[in-house]
Amino acid sequence: MSMQDLSTLRAMHVIPGSPTRAARHLLSISDLDPGEITEVLDAALTLKAGSPAWIGRAGPLARKHVALLFDKPSLRTRVSFEVGIARLGGATTTLSAVDVGLGSRESYADIARTLSRYVDAIVIRMHSHAGLVELAAAAEVPVVNALTELEHPCQALADLLTLREHLGVLRGRQLVFLGDGNNVCHSLLLGGAAVGLHVRVATPAGYEPAPDIVAEAALLGRRSGATIEVVHDPAAAVAGADAVYTDVWASMGSEHEVAERRRAFAAFQVNAELLHGAPDALVMHCLPAHRGEEISAGVIDGPTSVVFDQAENRMHAQQALLLHLLRSRRVSLAPAEPTPLRSALAGVAALRP
Ligand code: CP
Ligand code: NVA
């Protein structure tokens, strides 16, 4: 299935239903409007500052149980969801694809309908974005995309949070993504454009992000003032960057292409020489990283690297996201009203010393 087909399927995921029953999903970062992204980032900063730990106590996720289902390896996503939910008083059940026979034992729809009778949200990492759309369409509780071949929206939320912490504002800043136009790149394009962050992507020819994702990002950018560019010269691309981001050249599922990708991406390694054009730029990577391939050890372990802030911020961003999805309904609240997320956060403030 082509990226084009996948993006079309993604656009179809909105579930018809009454505004009071329909669950809010996060299959794409675009499922949050720009105001919601900002609200989730604000809430994540509050949660981070308060360092709440309601484990075993009546926190904002008390009596909430979340199923985490992984069809690919994970360190950050799994642990940040498990710990983040526990610290808000909730509970998790983590399953592998083998545990449930994902894709072989029963339909995605039946898995979603069954889990919806037990848990309050489903967080799932799977190869197929089309499969995720199918599963979410049958779910009666929020479904969160924990990475598919098309998008990694939780990573983008943590990355925007990290940029907010280090740059102060996102609007008008320049993010440069070097390497493969992959899932991480897609979510950064859409999330960045929504909040006014200029995003320039530099890839080898043939590895560009999906055209309809770029078009959607450009549309969001026209509303927010962000510019979206896709170019092929890595050295020219980093000039003027506030942050330079890279990811593995061969994502999970593309490992068989490692040799040809190493050749195609050789000029796109983020190293000291490439960063001459942007010596103060923040260095970002979603991790796991391959030192000596997409990024040099000196750069990822250097003074401008924020990769472990990104990793930590997965937890804070996802806590805020879950509070938002579990408490919000499809009908949007007027901006002046105290939102459920803001009300929940009042408890965080109360925990501060
Ligand atoms: N960045 C990220 O999603 O890491 P994991 O694959 O370890 O979850
Ligand atoms: N693009 C990478 C991200 C890993 C967090 C992958 O899909 O494997």
Q: What is the pLDDT of residues 69-114, one digit of tens each?
A: 999 999 999 999 999 999 999 999 999 999 999 989 999 999 999 9
**Residue ranges covered by each domain of the chain:** 3-151+313-335, 155-309
Rounded Cα gap, residues 212 and 156, in angstroms: 18
pLDDT at 340: 65
Distances (CA, A) of 350 to 51, 83, 321, 324: 11, 21, 20, 19
Query: What is the structure's pLDDT at 51?
Result: 80
* CA-based max dimension of the chain: 56
For 157-211, what is each residue's pLDDT tens digit?
A: 999 999 999 999 999 999 999 999 999 999 999 999 999 999 999 999 999 999 9
Tens of pLDDT, residue by residue over 199-247, are 999 999 999 999 999 999 999 999 999 999 999 999 999 999 999 999 9
Cα 181 from Cα 307, distance rounded (Å): 19
pLDDT of residue 350: 56
**SS3 annotation, 212-226:** HHHHHHHHHHHHHCC
In this predicted structure, the answer to whether residue 25 has a pLDDT above a threshold of 90 is yes
Does residue 344 register a pLDDT over 90?
Answer: no
pLDDT at 331 over 50: no
User: What average pLDDT does this structure show over 9-36?
Assistant: 69
Residue in 155, 174, 269, 319 annotated catalytic: 155
pLDDT in the model for residue 13: 42
How many helices and strands (H and E) does the chain possess?
14, 9
Predicted pLDDT of residue 348: 63
Distance CA 154, CA 76 (A): 11
Superfamily of domain 3-151+313-335: Aspartate/ornithine carbamoyltransferase (3.40.50.1370)
The model's pTM: 0.90
Whether 182 is in the pocket of ligand 2, judged by its Cβ within 6 Å, is yes
Residue 125 pairs in a beta bridge with 70
Which CATH number is 155-309 given?
Answer: 3.40.50.1370
Mean pLDDT value across residues 241-263: 97
Distance between Cα 286 and ligand 2 center (Å): 8
**Which of 284, 287, 300, 309 should be mutated for ligand 1, with most atoms under 8 A from CB?**
287
Nearest CA to ligand 2 atom 1: 251
CB-ligand 2 contact for 294 (6 Å cutoff): no
pLDDT score of 53: 83
Read off the amino acid at residue 205: A
- The answer to whether the 3-151+313-335 and 155-309 domains have the same CATH topology is yes
- pLDDT exceeds 90 at position 54: no
pLDDT over 60 (residue 31):
yes
Q: Please give the helix or strand (H or E) that residue 318 lies within, else none.
A: helix 307-327
Q: 178 in the Ramachandran plot: left (φ > 0), alpha (ψ -120 to 50) or beta?
A: beta
For the chain, give the mean pLDDT: 90
pLDDT value at residue 58: 82
Q: Is 155 a catalytic residue?
A: yes
What is the percentage of the chain residues whose pLDDT exceeds 70?
87
Assess contact for 166 and 179: CB atoms under 8 A: no
Does residue 187 contact residue 29 with C-beta atoms inside 8 Å? yes
Place of tokens 């994540």: 44
Alpha carbon distances (Å) from 278 to 199, 229, 242, 296: 15, 18, 8, 16
In the block, tokens 């998008």 appear at 151
Mean pLDDT along residues 316-341: 71
Two structure tokens written together for 274: 């490439």
